[in-house]
Structure 1
Amino acid sequence: MNSLKHTFLLLFVLSIAFTACNHTGTETQKSKTRIIKGLYSYGPEIKSFTDCEEGREYWVADSSKTLELGYSKFNFEKPYEPVYIEAECHAIKSDSLVVSADFDSTLVVTKLIKITREIPDGPCNQ
């Protein structure tokens, strides 16, 4: 009987610990979400973002399904024409088995805030 109580107690403690770990992971993901501002280029082989402040270039994954759609509405004659974007995203490590391996990180866009052909004055327009 005593071992049965210990087993239930152990299961109870483990379930609380598991729930706490999952809750912390969700909050960590939300805290890593950030707003990016810079230049986005899209074409058949490359989807890249250049952070104008840092000068770093990232591969882009469009989980919002609005970034590529917004880009295509400009009807560029040639691919890879840069546009200015502001978007909500989080960074992940790039997959080493695909084209994105040439980039240190991949930005996963979760919400497109702004997309425009007009590149604002400042570090993006140099």
Structure 2
Amino acid sequence: MDTKALIAAYYEAFNAGQTDRMMEMLHDEVEHHVNEGQIRKGKELFAEFNRHMAESYRENLTDMVIFANEAGDRAAAEFVVNGTYLKTDPGLPEAKGQTYRLPAGAFFTIRDGKIARVTTYYNLADWIAQVSA
């Protein structure tokens, strides 16, 4: 599978709520660089993050554009997160089923045909303003 197809399949699995399928596309030594917080290293920490996110948020990504370098070892994606805030996340505003629409992006490193790094970016202040309105 080429890099752009790998990233597309990863996000198709995300939108389908198929986190097991997402995990299959990750390198065993995956690093998850989040917008705010510590780097998560390894598939187990990534799986824990996915379980938490599924409890607190329902999200669907649209307007997906995927880029990859010629070597196929680096990629990026730009998209819009369409979400519902389901359960209060500690340190964030109270969840009351608020909806949000947030531009976001991610950067990837590919190793051995799998995703070895996911770095996600979005504007947290924009998200807070939307769920606080």
TM-score for both structures, normalised by structure 2: 0.23
- Larger-gyration structure (1/2): 1
Larger strand fraction of residues: 2
TM-score for both structures, normalised by structure 1: 0.24
